[in-house]
Amino acid sequence: MNAKEVTQKVMNKESLFILDVRNESDFQDWKIEGENFQYLNIPYFQLLDGVEEVLDQVPKDHDILVVCAKEGSSVMVAEMLSEAGVAVSYLQGGMKAWSEHLEPIKIGDLTDGGEIYQFVRIGKGCLSYMIVSNGEAAVIDSARMTDLYLEFAKSIGVKITHVFDTHLHADHISGGRTLAEKTNATYWLPPKDAAEVTFEYEALEDGSDVKFGETTISIHALYSPGHTIGSTSFIVDQQYLLSGDSLFIDSIGRPDLAGMAQDWVGDLRETLYTRYKDLSDELIVLPAHFMIIDELNEDGSVAEKLSVLYAKNHGLKIEDENEFRKIVTENLPPQPNAYKEIRDTNMGKMSPDEEKQREMEIGPNRCAIR
């Protein structure tokens, strides 16, 4: 079973029994999540002499999927189960493939023609976007698997002419610069996040209004610091707010990934409680990450009206500023895996090979405070 097939089971809320044969610590840290999934974690080395101990623990009336890190161990366990008469599949490419799968979902049509698509990186919780207008496209917060955007653009007959990063990412390696190089597109980055970068870029500043295609569709940049000092949101077609890592559906951004939590927490509050508050509450918020599978809509997208978030998101309902500062700086989750190396890679200071990049990104996203 490949990652796309498992993704469809997640989005369709189908049942699936997962036998995860990774070490317990890896399973507890990060696993395939589905609303109707059941789990059994037994490290593969406990099954080297046979699978008899698990035969009475796997159901007979569910699809069964064996999962490991890179595929090899799950193939071995699945073969033994099959020989024991169990109908079973294994995850092709393992959790490595799960981490890298992107699922494109159309969010909607734009006023003067064109569309906006969301790319759901289901195993990592990352969200990126493609905005299309009259044969041209802009990509926002690209994952490092840039060929997937190129293939999708080709399939709908558009050319990528602009690439944006809402901020300097710390939990995943940006594909923005690579995608821009492959397409000869303009690469935009907030200059306050780019003080140490080693490459050229176009400065993305508050009030920038980037038009593309031959229509009046525009991407309006809104300075929204807090998660990083340069974090920038986008208002697209007066319909959508691409909030980067400042605001999520069920959480808010963390201000500490550059070691500046006490300095940036005030900026984060200003963004969430003033800058966004001044916007139309009819805007559809499209964040750069999701935290839990419950944030997915029926069609698999991650999107919600700004008014709904102000009514339901607890991070937007802390009226006392001192309480907000305390909650945000004292309830921080663990840092993302290899986040310092990822930041250096996104600055152009490091150039790790593909396998090293995969290793750096392994694990869940940790950009939010819930």
**Catalytic positions:** 68
237: tokens are: 């077609």
The three-point CA angle 20-25-30 to 5° equals 65
DSSP-assigned letters across all residues of 175-191: -HHHHHHHHTPEEEE-G
Q: Give the span between the Cα atoms of 85 and 70, in whole angstroms.
A: 25
- The separation between CA 296 and the C-alpha centre of its own chain, rounded to angstroms, equals 12
Task: Please give the C-alpha separations between residue 344 and each of 148, 154, 311, 340, in angstroms, as whole numbers.
Answer: 24, 31, 37, 6
Rounded to whole angstroms, the Cα distance separating 259 from 262 reads 9
Q: How many helices (H) and strands (E) does the chain have?
A: 12, 19
Token reading at 332: 């921080």
Environment class of 25 (CB within 10 Å of its CB; exposed 0-12, middle 13-18, buried 19+):
exposed
Using the CB atoms, write b or e for 63-83: b if 16+ within 10 Å.
bbbbbbbebebbebbbebbee
Quote the CA–CA distance of 141 and 219 in Å, as a whole number. Answer: 14
Distance CA 298, CA 250 (A): 16
- DSSP letters, 94-163, are HHHHHHH--EEEEEEE-TTS-EEEEEEETTTTEEEEEEEETTEEEEES--S-HHHHHHHHHHTT-EEEEE
Helix-, strand-, coil-residue percentages of the chain, each rounded to 5: 30, 25, 45
On whether the CB atoms of residues 356 and 342 are closer than 8 A, the answer is no
